[in-house]
Copies of this chain bind each other. A is one copy, B any other.
Amino acid sequence: MKNGLYTVVLLILLSVSSIFGQNGNLITSEAQLQEMKTALKSDNLFHATVNDAIEKVAPYLTSGLDVPVPKDLAGGYTHSQHKLNYSIMQKAGMLYQLTGNDTYAHLIKNTLIKYAQLFPTFDRHPATRSYSPGKFFWQCLNDANWLVYTSQAYSSIYEWLDQDTRDLLNQKLFKPYADFLSVQTPQFFNRLHNHSTWANAAVGMIGLVMHDEDLIEKSLFGLPFKNENTIDNDGGSIIKEGQKKAGFLANIDYAFSPDGYYFEGPYYQRYAMYPYLMYALALDRNKKELDIFNYDHQILLKGIETLVQLSNEKGEFFPLNDAQKGMSYFSRELKLAISIAYEYGDANKNGLLSIVEELQSVPLNYGGFLESNAIAQGKVTPYNKRSLLVTDGNKGDKGAIGILRGNRQEYIMKFTQHGMGHGHFDRLSYLMYNKGDEILQDYGAARYVNVNQKDGGGYLKENKTWAKQTVAHNTLVIGDRTQCHAKVDKAEKATPSLYYFDINNANIQIMSAKDSIAYDGVQQQRTLVLIKDDAFENPILLDLFRANLSSDQKLRMPYNYKGQMMYSTFENKSLNTLPLLGQKDGFQFLWKVGEAPSQGKFNQVNWFNNKVFYTLNMATTKEDSINYVLLGANDPKMNLRNDKAFHWLKKGHKGENLFASVLETHGSYSYTTELAPNTYSSIKNVNVLFHSTDYTAVSFENKSGEKWVFVLCNSDASTSSKHKLKLDNETLKWKGVYQLKKLI
């Protein structure tokens, strides 16, 4: 469907008449409504949702909803009130349909009339901060939100309204509003961006309600291109280089990889899924022929599954790129998404119900009703969070996110597209979680969303100057500079590439990726190997990070750890009058609190977080050293957290360089018994046996004298190639990319 044929197919479909539901229901059919009413006879999750909605709407049935003249930015009264209005109207619409109680219908009607009266009385919102100033809100994005929700409410009472009112609302409010968001604001409507997805859905949904073919067509295919070559608030360009399409379908095509990854990362995927799915639902109810949920191999449904996989044990999304930590599948958007995945997807088989059970709540829609029924019938099966590769790019060829999971540890390596304005310069970085706790963190976004005292709740300037910089991530910093000179354009030009990914052997899971763009003249490769062996309490992570340099340069590997430092073989000298680590590239926010030279060929750093111990076992040289750093310099408003890191430094030499380490998760602590078993790593050495551009061989040994040798071919990912590598004492022979040998 991606080859342009769809335009033809759809235009034919659109010309077929009798495609609208008879009950005016945009997202719920009459038959579904009848089914849903049965739920109200007993105690169940859906009934609880209905009761909750009744409670939320109740106060406004008497007071009505205020429709103030727009004035405020986000967080202010008029902004919040208009948000409240669409949320209440949408609930009231569903309640009217479910209960037949027309006080709900009257609430919607009265409110919409106020909007229809207000709409023509002014041009745009007085605030001018946005690249697309809105109507009732400071930015069109919020207006599109309003219309996506309100279309649902309007649909609920569409048939109930008298013709005059309907005409009034269509002509004075909704048609002009749809035009406002589309033809009058093409720089907002015609992008390949989550903003436009909201706009497309809003215009399409109100089009479906009003039976307005023109709006529907615009929503699906966008507007003709004119002069949208401006930039948005974040400095991103409005129209992509070479962009030829716009509209809802183009946004699906562009934004999702075949694995269902959304190019801006999980945090924005969560936000974008709502319009994608609500409009898809409306299209499915009203334009069955379009078969939208099967579009592009069910890409929308796949997107939901992928998003759930991109969360930790607590359900929180991995905070890749700009993302506020803590956003999770407990959000409203994901409740909805999961209900749709449940309704349209592989039903009871995919384990999603166990997530719904964890949420303890279903949304106010037909999918929510189905979930509630299935849970009441005991159909819950466990959801399987697994190791997986999630490719990026609409052809799946622009890098990926690799996730290795073992016991309760999760390792997430990022080698995706940059992610436009919200991207971070963090190629080949990885995050680590244990039991849902962050152990090696990505800082996330420097932002307190909607908290007014932190610069109005928007992105803080430290988001750009700190959070996006390479040193805020767990990946190699070369020459104390940020990747791609911190230029989005450069970073967008080429993505890292997958070298190898194999999770078929539960005892040796491996992922490897390469990059040659981050630093000029540098070929980088990181290989993470998760090794499960009874000798270790938990799987251990072997990390081989190679960098081939065209000249000598300082190499700095940050470990942005969470927890308390316990001990290190580096003899730290504490620096009491703290110097800054540097002047730019994020270094200006770091104090150097300690530094120490390497103690020979093997070093350890051991820390403690939430009752578990972690040790980085490092193959070092005498030239290596360590820095302990603390975040918070140059930050008079205390916008940043006082997070910590240790940096493993090497003198990088022209040619091949290697960071080889084994990270062990071990031991435990109880604050009530005060027992502390296994507080030390069981590993007693890590050695580099051989390293070249083509091959890397390392060994490590535990305290019981068991020894492992791992060898990797860096230049041939074929699983059938045969290799031979001569070491000092022996010759290793193997087939395929790698070999792990255990010697006892």
Contact = CB atoms under 8 A, between A and B. Distances in A.
B331 A673 contact: yes
Given A332-B672, A580-B576, A671-B328, A594 B636 contact: yes
B676 A325 contact: no
A606 interface: yes
A593 B641 contact: no
A451 B608 contact: yes
Interface of A: 75, 324-328, 330-332, 448-454, 457, 564-567, 572-574, 576-580, 591, 593-594, 606, 608, 628, 630, 632-638, 641-642, 644, 669, 671-676, 679-680
Contacts of A451: 566, 608, 669, 676, 679
A588 to B, nearest CB: 8
Nearest to A646: B638
Nearest to A564: B641
A478 to B, nearest CB: 25
A577 B332 CA distance: 45
A331 B670 CA distance: 9
A675 B574 CA distance: 42
Contact of A671 (B324, B572, B630): B324
A436 to B, nearest CB: 14
Given A453-B679, A672-B332, A674-B449, A574 B327 contact: no
B564 A679 contact: no
26 contacts: A324-B674, A325-B671, A327-B672, A330-B672, A331-B673, A332-B673, A448-B566, A448-B608, A449-B676, A450-B674, A450-B675, A451-B566, A451-B608, A453-B566, A453-B606, A453-B679, A453-B680, A564-B638, A572-B637, A572-B638, A577-B577, A578-B633, A593-B632, A594-B638, A630-B630, A642-B642
B452 A676 contact: yes
Given A578-B577, A632-B630, A566 B674 contact: no
Contacts of A573: 636
A672 B630 contact: no
Copies of the protein in its oligomer? 2
Nearest to A335: B672
Contacts of A448: 566, 608, 676
Contacts of A594: 636, 638
A492 to B, nearest CB: 28
A448 B330 CA distance: 35
Contacts of A632: 593, 630
Contacts of A608: 448, 451
Contacts of A642: 630, 642, 644
Contacts of A679: 451-453
A574 B578 CA distance: 13
A251 to B, nearest CB: 23
Would you list the 5 A-B pairs with minimal beta carbon distance, nearest first? A326-B671, A574-B636, A565-B638, A331-B672, A578-B578
Given A452-B679, A671-B324, A675-B450, A635 B574 contact: yes
Most chain B beta-carbon neighbours within 10 Å: one of A565, A576, A577? A576
A628 B634 contact: no
